[in-house]
Amino acid sequence: MRIDLDGLSLRAPHADDAQALAALANDRGVWRNMRDLFPHPYTLQHANQFIARQAQPSPNRIFLIDVAGAVAGACGVHPLSDVYARGAEVSYWLGAPFAGRGIATKAVAALTRFGFEQLGLARLQAGVFEWNQASARVLEKNGYVREAVLRKSVFKDGQLIDSFLYAKVNPAL
């Protein structure tokens, strides 16, 4: 699956993306805003494992963010389960050379349309660590609303911090 946008694409990862993916992901600034499942340091072996996992059947839809043929980051839709099965969590990260250029905002817009139009989801949500105001702005620019402050809910990088829950409901409902 591939989603083409003005100046960027969301696409499946390929084996030849591993080197670029590892170089971008091996950044403490990226790791600091991700869940602990995202390793640091991020090695070529981690990149190859990630790419191999994406080739397996999964309810998750994971895309690389590609800017003019260069890997810029990744994003995904992660379906929820049980009574929350009409919703999903969205995730995204960008490598430092691509930050501040509106790329994440465009990627989240495309991911949101994909979740609502292609997957038929009723609700998309994302968690944001309190220190990641850039990520909060990306969501707000895409019509996501801060629904909750989860006080002292995240232990990351040796600190106990708040996180914010953002959500957007499918406007077709």
Q: Please give the pLDDT value at position 124.
A: 98
Tell whether omega for the bond before 41 is within 30 degrees of 0, i.e. cis: yes
| pTM (2 d.p.) | 0.95
Percent above pLDDT 90 for the chain: 92
Tens digits of residue pLDDT in 21-62: 999 999 999 999 999 999 999 999 999 999 999 988 887 899
Domains in the chain, start-ordered, CATH in brackets?
2-169 (3.40.630.30)
Query: What is the 3-state secondary structure of 42-103?
Result: CCHHHHHHHHHHHCCCCCCEEEEEEECCEEEEEEEEEECCHHHCCEEEEEEEECHHHCCCCH
In 13-49, which positions are buried (b, 16+ CB within 10 angstroms) versus exposed (e)?
A: beeebbebbbebbbbeebbebbeeebebebeeebbbe
In this predicted model, what pLDDT tens digit does every residue of 2-16 receive, in sequence order?
A: 998 888 999 999 999
* Token code pair at residue 172: 């077709």
pLDDT in tens, 101-110: 999 999 999 9
**pLDDT (average), residues 77-96:** 98
DSSP state for residue 112 in the 8-state scheme: H
